[in-house]
A and B are shown apart, each in its own frame.
Chain A
């Protein structure tokens, strides 16, 4: 039953992707309500899935890689809906939806939805640590998407080759403001996530801790570079992409290690 909810959700996001692709191909993209409604509907199905799964498990549904991917996709969609209309980054939906589709399709297809017998009692700190970290990843994902949009727009302005998509992208300075805001949100949430990790009562694997702090430092350096104005916007945008790639790798590593440790 819960997988059907996820399939419906994926179809909604896919509809947004297809709709945008068709419109961009025809050169008639309009930041219309369709994308926003499709993403909203997809988000509702995602939320329903996580809710059903959470009740089933009687804990935050972050017990395997499958659930982690879905939670990450949910975070991306949630932050998009908070950030998108605020910054009028309407085309951001066109860039966000494919990321969510990729995450959910991978989660649905790959054999990673492995149910483990609960070996540990529910731990509020652990759940808080995992969920807040994933929401931070969602903010980093959107900063990465805004970074891609910035680089696309910057490239077109530099080369004087303005394609149809150019006219649907937000202004460079608005995009940069959005990147900065998303980075601050992500950084604050990620800091909370890391700090709460020390209160879980479980011994923390040293490699994970070092990698997580490394990622935290990377984002701290980006924000400091931005704040002190020794990093140009283009470099900040490129570093956002690098940072999120590192974050995904770290997430994979943490979840994979956790699964290995929980196996009998």
Chain B
């Protein structure tokens, strides 16, 4: 039995290259055309991978040809970006992929869902058999363990998620938070939507153009506030998202001080994503005010990524343990001699044997 993975990802190919191989083949067509006994196709925005089991060795070119958009293309045009992992290395690779160690943004959560979807699709079509079933079930378990026992998924790495993360650090539940969006730009809309997705419900939108304010308010389920009234809103709100095109700061210490005196025990979280900035940076020095501009949000995102990278070693250790255990488990299952206590034979069908054949 040969267990292998052939694919390309953001490590080896750019988007143009990935586009040539994504979305054409299905797991069933790979089964049919390449002669595999089991196959699974994992396609994401930065990854196209085939996990397969076959009785004989199937070359990378054969798999690449199944994936290729242009059927008559020269294999040498696409061969170089493909990588290939066999047996134990294939297991290791899948565990790393599912745990988001191989992702462009280390620790991201989407890949696990995508892998589950790919597995489900292959299972339903009958392309995934017992070997891939065991492999993927274990991969999902490993990914869950990595996320639970390390800080690999800690912190946020985009403007919206950093804003939500920080808001939750300050206020806990966002359901009681009142949010004012000042300036109806695209980023502020995304940030507002991120806050809504975590429970924020009282949303107000203020913009120089009242029509645009109403439009955004309707889109996010909030209410429009006249632009002249926005500073009065600061008495009530907990979170201010600002992204106007004003050339001078709209919010200064002097303007905010009287408002803060009326809300001593409630923090005010300000996300200033405007360039030039809408809020005077010295506002952050005021008690109870937490001001984050685009630079500080970027800095938090970088800190989160650094924190995640620090966790890679711990995650790799968990994965290594599972790889050894899984390979032993599969070898025992496929080699009846082991079950009777006899030493394993690499000449028989086993993962270790196929690894030797493949290397």
Question: Interface size on B (CB < 8 Å)?
Answer: 29
User: Which of B148, B172, B296, B304 contacts A174 (CB under 8 A)?
Assistant: B172
Docked Cα-Cα span, A17 to B150, in Å, equals 19
List A182-232 residues whose CB lies under 8 Å from chain B: 226, 229-232
B307 interface hit (Cβ, 8 Å): yes
Docked Cα-Cα span, A162 to B303, in Å, equals 7
B265 interface hit (Cβ, 8 Å): yes
B235 interface hit (Cβ, 8 Å): no
A30 interface hit (Cβ, 8 Å): yes
Given contacts A27-B310, A171-B170, A234-B288, whether A160 and B265 have CB atoms under 8 Å apart is no
Q: How far is the CB of A108 from chain B (nearest CB, A)?
A: 35
User: Which of B150, B288, B296, B307 contacts A160 (CB under 8 A)?
Assistant: B296
B61 interface hit (Cβ, 8 Å): no
A119 interface hit (Cβ, 8 Å): no
Smallest Cβ-Cβ distance to B169: which chain A residue: A171
Docked Cα-Cα span, A27 to B151, in Å, equals 7
Query: Which A residues lie within 8 Å of B166 (CB)?
Result: 157
User: Which of A164, A171, A176 contacts B168 (CB under 8 A)?
Assistant: A171
A28 touches B151 (CB 8 A): yes
Docked Cα-Cα span, A170 to B310, in Å, equals 23
Docked Cα-Cα span, A169 to B284, in Å, equals 21
Given contacts A28-B151, A157-B290, A171-B171, whether A232 and B265 have CB atoms under 8 Å apart is yes
For chain B, what secondary structure do more than half of its interface residues adopt (helix, strand, loop), or is it mixed?
Answer: helix
A234 touches B300 (CB 8 A): no
B183 interface hit (Cβ, 8 Å): no
Docked Cα-Cα span, A233 to B290, in Å, equals 14
A contact residues, range: 20 to 34
A158 touches B290 (CB 8 A): yes
A63 interface hit (Cβ, 8 Å): no
B178 interface hit (Cβ, 8 Å): no
Q: How far is the CB of B285 from chain A (nearest CB, A)?
A: 8
Q: How far is the CB of B138 from chain A (nearest CB, A)?
A: 22
A95 interface hit (Cβ, 8 Å): no
User: Which of A153, A161, A167, A229 contacts B155 (CB under 8 A)?
Assistant: A167
Query: Which B residues lie within 8 Å of A30 (CB)?
Result: 148-149
Q: How far is the CB of B121 from chain A (nearest CB, A)?
A: 34
B299 touches A173 (CB 8 A): no
B169 touches A166 (CB 8 A): yes
Docked Cα-Cα span, A18 to B76, in Å, equals 57
B9 interface hit (Cβ, 8 Å): no
Q: Which of A26, A28, A169 has the most CB of B within 10 A?
A: A28
Query: Which A residues lie within 8 Å of B290 (CB)?
Result: 157-158
A173 touches B267 (CB 8 A): yes
A26 touches B288 (CB 8 A): no
Chain B, residues 273-286, CB within 8 Å of chain A (1/0): the string is: 00000000000100
Smallest Cβ-Cβ distance to B299: which chain A residue: A160
Query: Which B residues lie within 8 Å of A28 (CB)?
Result: 149-151, 311, 314
Query: Which B residues lie within 8 Å of A26 (CB)?
Result: 314
User: Which of A27, A169, A231 contacts B307 (CB under 8 A)?
Assistant: A27
Q: Which of B150, B154, B166, B168 has the most CB of A within 10 A?
A: B154
Docked Cα-Cα span, A166 to B170, in Å, equals 11
Chain A, residues 114-154, CB within 8 Å of chain B (1/0): the string is: 00000000000000000000000000000000000000010
Docked Cα-Cα span, A251 to B310, in Å, equals 45
Chain B, residues 301-317, CB within 8 Å of chain A (1/0): the string is: 00110010011001000
Q: How far is the CB of B198 from chain A (nearest CB, A)?
A: 13
B21 interface hit (Cβ, 8 Å): no
B287 interface hit (Cβ, 8 Å): yes
Query: Which A residues lie within 8 Å of B292 (CB)?
Result: 160
Smallest Cβ-Cβ distance to B314: which chain A residue: A28
A161 touches B151 (CB 8 A): no
Docked Cα-Cα span, A78 to B168, in Å, equals 29
A164 touches B307 (CB 8 A): yes
Query: Which A residues lie within 8 Å of B307 (CB)?
Result: 27, 164
Given contacts A27-B307, A27-B311, A162-B300, whether A157 and B288 have CB atoms under 8 Å apart is no
CB pairs A–B below 8 angstroms (10 shown):
A27-B151, A157-B170, A158-B284, A160-B292, A170-B172, A172-B171, A173-B171, A229-B265, A233-B267, A234-B287
> Residues of A with Cβ closer than 8 Å to B?
26-28, 30, 153, 157-158, 160-162, 164, 166-167, 169-174, 176, 226, 229-234
By Cβ-Cβ distance, the 7 closest A-B pairs, closest first, are: A171-B172, A160-B296, A229-B264, A174-B172, A232-B287, A157-B290, A172-B170
Known contacts A27-B310, A164-B151, A232-B265; can you find 20 more A-B pairs with CB under 8 A? A28-B149, A28-B151, A28-B311, A153-B169, A157-B169, A158-B290, A160-B296, A162-B155, A164-B307, A169-B169, A171-B168, A171-B170, A171-B172, A172-B171, A173-B170, A173-B171, A173-B267, A226-B265, A231-B264, A233-B267
